[in-house]
Structure 1
Amino acid sequence: MLGEDWHRLGEVIRRHYFLRAFSDDSICVKGVMREVWHSAIAKCLIPPARVFGALVPYRGTDVPIEVHYNVRPDDGTIHWDRVFHFAGRPPFHFLSYMEHVGGNDVIEFIRFGVGMRLKVTAEDGALVFRDKGYIWRMFGVDVPLPLGLLLGRAYIEERPVDAGRFSMRMTLTHPLFGELFRYGGDFSVGD
């Protein structure tokens, strides 16, 4: 998807995303989220978001996490199972899958066909995802959704730390209410 820009990514990021389309490749990375946070305003969005399997509903610091990635050989999509281990709670699974839709664009889907269109770039060794709007896939048609008015814009990056570790951060920032959600931490990529 990145073409020649693939080589602009840090080596640890390339190792992390070695997954080949239409294969049965998989990888698990483990780490600690230094912070998982949402604003007081965003707390109102969490109940409906949980119906769709979106947004982490808890706050915490130093939250152990593992992320299981696997490619589906039948359709080439990458599936994520992000497992957050908040103290005193059962593991929280944030499930999604990503589909390449042309050029540097992907859509990350949650339940019921709701997705976020993202532009993917390589910047200073990091893999960066920038929100291009939300959609609802109905009967094979991607219908734009004005969810950006509620959630704001997403920014996600995975940045090399050293040969075996990378940092990750995600923010949802609303134009009027500022930052609504954020989480970030460090991960290790095993050999």
Structure 2
Amino acid sequence: MMRGAAKRKSDTQKPAACERDDALTDDRFRLLIPRAAWDALPEDVRLRFSKRLSGTAVAAYRGEIVWTRLSRAGWLLAQLCRLIGAPLPTGGSGPAPAAVAVSEDRKSGGQCWTRLYGRARGRPQVIHSAKSFAGPTGLEEHIGGGFGMALAVRAEADALIFASEHYFWQAAGFRLRIPRWLSPGATTVTHQHLGSGRFAFDLKVTHPLLGELLNQHGLFRDA
């Protein structure tokens, strides 16, 4: 009886061990930057962007948005973007609870990112986007209505930085690159290591003529 029980216990432990191994085998982000730069990143960052999110697996992060600052032009841009699913924060705010969930995007083979931002009044804002490992830079973010941006990725010290290279619109197999003079400007997202499973999230959108449209700073930790 004891040998049978031990065997059953061993059998139940094997899938868990396999899941832990499978969770750290996604090299798609690592391949976007030079190996030396990737290896120089803190271990927390490398592990966070190496999770194999297959099937129903979800990576969750909880924290708060410390501030969201919108210029007048930035506020107008955020309101116009409601027409394609509100991919930008629609109002400035002080500290507010926030959560992020990342899962597999079965349609593109990439990842679905869902961000939940609390508000002092009214319902929280939910922002959806999908990352696909495609295009001239190797990474694209689709934000709704057929619009998206190609992202260039680089590592600097303790941070992984995603910067827009260009914007595009696509539908039914047709793809149009949006001219720079029609784009909202440069979008930069910074994922900075803070230690002990914590990281800072910074989102900035800067227009060449109108200046900074959006500046958002959040603090998160592995859930």
* 1:85 aligns with one of 112, 118, 122: 118
**Structure 1 counterpart SS, 2:72:** coil
1:50 maps to what in 2? 82
User: Corresponding residue for 2:162?
Assistant: 129
Residue of 211, 216, 220 corresponding to 1:178: 211
Give per-residue Cα distances to partners, 1:29-79, cap 9 Å, x unaligned.
011111111101222222321111221101101121000100134642110
Going from structure 1 to structure 2, the CA distance change for 1:6 and 1:104 (only over 3 Å counts) comes to farther
User: Normalized against structure 1, the TM-score is what?
Assistant: 0.90
2:75–2:91 contact (8 Å) kept in structure 1: no
Quote the offset at 1:126 in angstroms.
1.2
1:22–1:75 Cα contact (<8 Å) kept: no
Residue 61 of structure 2 is aligned with which of 14, 25, 29?
Answer: 29
SS for the counterpart of 2:195 is: coil
Task: Give the 3-state SS of the residue equivalent to 1:42 in structure 2.
Answer: helix
Listed one character per residue, the Cα deviations across residues 95-120 of structure 1 (whole Å, up to 9, x for unaligned) are 00000115753110011221011011
The separation in 1 between residues aligned to 2:57 and 2:132, in whole angstroms, is 15
More off after superposition, 148-157 vs 31-40: 148-157
8 Å CA contact retained: 2:53, 2:59? no
Where structure 2 has 5 or more consecutive residues not aligned to the other structure, the ranges are 1-27
* More helix, by proportion: 2
Identity within the alignment, %: 26
Partner-residue secondary structure (3-state), 1:50: helix
- How far apart are the structure 2 equivalents of 1:142 and 1:113? 9
Unaligned runs of 5+ in 1: none
Instruction: Determine the C-alpha separation between the residues in 2 that align with 1:71 and 1:157.
Output: 22
SS in structure 1 at match of 2:119: coil
In 1, are the aligned partners of 2:152 and 2:162 still within 8 Å (CA)?
A: yes
Q: Determine if the alignment matches structure 1 residue 60 to structure 2 residue 93.
A: yes
**What residue identity is the alignment partner of 2:124?**
P
Q: Kindly indicate whether structure 1 or structure 2 has the higher relative contact order, using CA contacts under 8 Å at least 6 residues apart.
A: 1
Q: Over aligned residues, Cα RMSD in angstroms?
A: 2.0
Distance, in Å, in 2 between the alignment partners of 1:97 and 1:142 is 17
- Secondary structure of 1:142's counterpart equals strand
**Amino acid in the other structure paired with 1:78:** Q
**Contact 1:104–1:121 (CA<8 Å) still a contact in 2?**
no
Cα distance between partner residues in 2 of 1:22 and 1:143: 31
Per the normalisation by structure 2, the TM-score is 0.78
TM superposition shift of 1:147: 6.2
More strand by share: 1
Aligned match of 2:4: none
User: For residues 1-191 of structure 1, what are the structure 2 equivalents within 5 Å?
Assistant: 1=28, 2-3=30-31, 4=35, 5-20=37-52, 23-53=55-85, 54-73=87-106, 75-101=108-134, 105-146=138-179, 149-190=182-223
One-letter amino acid matched to 1:107: E
Greater shift in the superposed pair: 5-14 or 23-32: 5-14
